[in-house]
């Protein structure tokens, strides 16, 4: 029987990072993966979706923006099979990178489904049905999540699809219906919108990206509508039917009016659920909550002292970088260190174009809590860099404490927002005031100048360029 100090079940961003950090700290480490190293994120999530987003953005620019830049080309055509192939190559390269890191850090990889025999023993069931048993002092569960299904819209992987199938379509849809106006639905909807699909988003809540600041939702709706995306918010889907060559989606709006949508594919993106099937948690006595997530304390320790859980399988935002931070935290705790995570400072990003990114409290949250705050904002269209690149949509919004000027939240929609939010995280990690940001030199011309200008607006209503 193989024996280890630390065994990680699941090799997504949380799992493989936890394994690497544990190995760095001197633990004999193993990782168990039932499919391909990298988990959902690298194989059928973050990475392939960004590859298609980038490819579709290049095409969109060739069709709509090249001429304005003085680049004359014949009408471009989409080679969709090549686009999908490039996406696969990007995924393969990333997976090979994880394989390299496992070898470099002397982490033993066990391919198969991991399930608890008891609190210190895991059974690995391989594809051929054979099994092996692993003994481990500590076990970290990092099995991630899967796309949540609607009870009346079971995925058939043909016409009623999840994000996994949307990344491997054989054709560009004529009309893609997206159920759910969250991150996944909007990103994949954007891919096909740019490639020429009609895209209709049906969202139960009263706005898209409902968990983010309302101003971001309003601006993103406006921009995506301008690009051609259609929205039906405050609308409840009641029925989805695969007609063989297409789909019919029936819904009801807030006025009780019955709506019918006809398309050739429907993407169900109504959230994700923790993946605990097959783990046999009961054999180790590990408790879960009412939503099927593994219960943990503030140290990510389960009710079984030597078992920890991280990432999408526990409470909190389902984000790759949140899982990574948790993986490091657990490994360092096992080594006797005292790491910490401030969950308020885990940024959220939507990779549409323009991008959307945020960290800290939303204005709605501050109002609900009764906090006294002030707001500063600055539009991208007032930036020289944005004018040069024709990326005029969006703004930076900074929320700061009315009395102390400490930054409470930063919300960005615009070009490179996903990268700009890192400055916001750094500032808030060190409890910067809006004035602190305003007094830092920002290179000109850059998109980052919007951060400085918004901070000037927040601290003293004295932005220079608006």
Tell me whether residue 155 is exposed, middle or buried, using C-beta atoms within 10 angstroms of its C-beta: 0 to 12, 13 to 18, 19 or more: middle
Q: Is 118 annotated as a binding residue?
A: no
Report whether 267 contacts 280 (CB < 8 A). no
DSSP at 76: P
Quote the CA–CA distance of 403 and 373 in Å, as a whole number: 8
Q: Is 455 annotated as a binding residue?
A: no
Q: Is 183 annotated as a binding residue?
A: yes
Q: Is 168 annotated as a binding residue?
A: no
Q: Is 181 annotated as a binding residue?
A: yes
The strand order across the sheet containing 395-401 reads 348-350, 355-360, 407-414, 395-401, 373-379
Quote the CA–CA distance of 291 and 169 in Å, as a whole number: 31
Q: Is 184 annotated as a binding residue?
A: yes
**Residue 188: how many other CB atoms lie within 10 Å:** 24
Quote the CA–CA distance of 458 and 456 in Å, as a whole number: 5
Q: Is 318 annotated as a binding residue?
A: yes
Report whether 276 contacts 258 (CB < 8 A). no
- Active-site annotation holder among 64, 299, 444, 465: 444
Report whether 232 contacts 251 (CB < 8 A). yes
The strand order across the sheet containing 235-242 reads 235-242, 247-253, 258-263
Residue 121 a catalytic site member: no
- Give the tokens for residue 50: 């960004």
Q: Is 145 annotated as a binding residue?
A: yes
Distances (CA, A) of 101 to 19, 94, 435: 10, 11, 42
Within 8 A by CB and 6+ apart from 221, the residues are 207, 208, 231
Listed in order, strand segments (DSSP E) in 311-419 are 348-350, 355-360, 373-379, 395-401, 407-414
Continuous segment of H or E residues that includes residue 299 = none
DSSP at 353: S
Q: How far apart are the first and last CA of the chain?
A: 68
Reference 241, options 150, 148, 174; nearest CA is 150
Q: Is 320 annotated as a binding residue?
A: yes
Q: Is 144 annotated as a binding residue?
A: yes
β-sheet bridge partners, residue 420: none
β-sheet bridge partners, residue 9: 32, 141
Listed in order, strand segments (DSSP E) in 186-281 are 198-202, 230-232, 235-242, 247-253, 258-263, 265-268, 272-274
Report whether 188 contacts 163 (CB < 8 A). yes
Q: Is 203 annotated as a binding residue?
A: yes
Q: Is 186 annotated as a binding residue?
A: yes
Residues contributing to the annotated binding site for FAD: 50, 114, 143-145, 312, 318-321
Binding residues: 50, 114, 143-145, 180-187, 203, 271, 312, 318-321
What residues act catalytically? 444
Annotated binding site for NAD(+): 180-187, 203, 271
């Amino acid at each position: 029987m193989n024996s280890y100090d630390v065994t990680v079940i699941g090799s997504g961003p949380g799992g493989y990072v936890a394994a690497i950090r544990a190995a760095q700290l001197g633990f004999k480490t193993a990782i168990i993966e039932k499919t391909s190293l990298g988990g959902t994120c690298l194989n059928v999530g973050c990475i392939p979706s960004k590859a298609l987003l980038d490819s579709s953005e290049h095409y969109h620019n060739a069709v709509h923006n090249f001429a304005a830049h003085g680049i004359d080309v014949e009408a471009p055509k989409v080679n969709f099979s090549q686009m999908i192939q490039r996406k696969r190559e990007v995924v393969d390269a990333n997976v090979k990178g994880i394989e390299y890191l496992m070898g470099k850090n002397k982490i033993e990889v066990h391919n198969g489904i991991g399930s608890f025999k008891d609190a210190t023993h895991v059974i690995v069931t391989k594809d051929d049905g054979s099994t092996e048993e692993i003994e481990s002092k500590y076990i970290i569960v990092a099995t991630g999540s899967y796309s949540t299904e609607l009870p009346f819209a079971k995925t058939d992987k043909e016409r009623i699809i999840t994000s996994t199938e949307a990344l491997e379509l054989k054709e560009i849809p004529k009309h893609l219906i997206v159920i759910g106006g969250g991150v996944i639905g909007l990103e994949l909807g954007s891919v096909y919108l740019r490639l020429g699909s009609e895209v209709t988003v049906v969202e139960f809540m009263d706005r898209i990206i409902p968990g983010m600041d309302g101003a971001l939702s309003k601006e993103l709706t406006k921009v995506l509508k301008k690009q051609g995306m259609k929205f039906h918010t405050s609308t409840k889907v009641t029925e989805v039917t695969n007609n063989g060559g297409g789909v019919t989606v029936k819904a009801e709006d807030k006025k009780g009016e019955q709506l019918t949508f006809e398309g050739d594919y429907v993407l169900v993106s109504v959230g994700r659920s923790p993946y605990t099937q097959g783990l046999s948690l009961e054999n180790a006595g590990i408790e879960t909550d009412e939503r099927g997530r593994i219960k943990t304390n503030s140290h990510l320790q389960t009710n079984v002292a030597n078992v920890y859980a991280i990432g999408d399988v526990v409470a909190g935002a389902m984000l790759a970088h949140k899982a990574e931070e948790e993986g490091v935290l657990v490994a360092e705790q096992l080594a006797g260190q005292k790491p910490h995570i401030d969950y308020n400072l885990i940024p959220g990003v939507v990779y549409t174009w323009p991008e959307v990114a945020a960290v800290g409290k939303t204005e709605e949250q501050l109002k609900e809590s009764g906090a006294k705050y002030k707001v500063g904002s600055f539009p991208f269209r007032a930036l020289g860099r944005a004018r040069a690149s024709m990326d005029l949509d969006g703004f930076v919004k900074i929320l700061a404490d009315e009395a102390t000027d400490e930054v409470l939240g930063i919300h960005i929609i615009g070009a490179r927002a996903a990268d700009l939010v890192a400055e916001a995280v750094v500032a808030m990690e060190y409890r910067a005031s809006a004035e602190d940001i305003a007094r830092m030199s920002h290179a000109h011309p850059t998109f980052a100048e919007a951060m400085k200008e918004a901070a000037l607006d927040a601290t003293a209503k004295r932005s220079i360029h608006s």
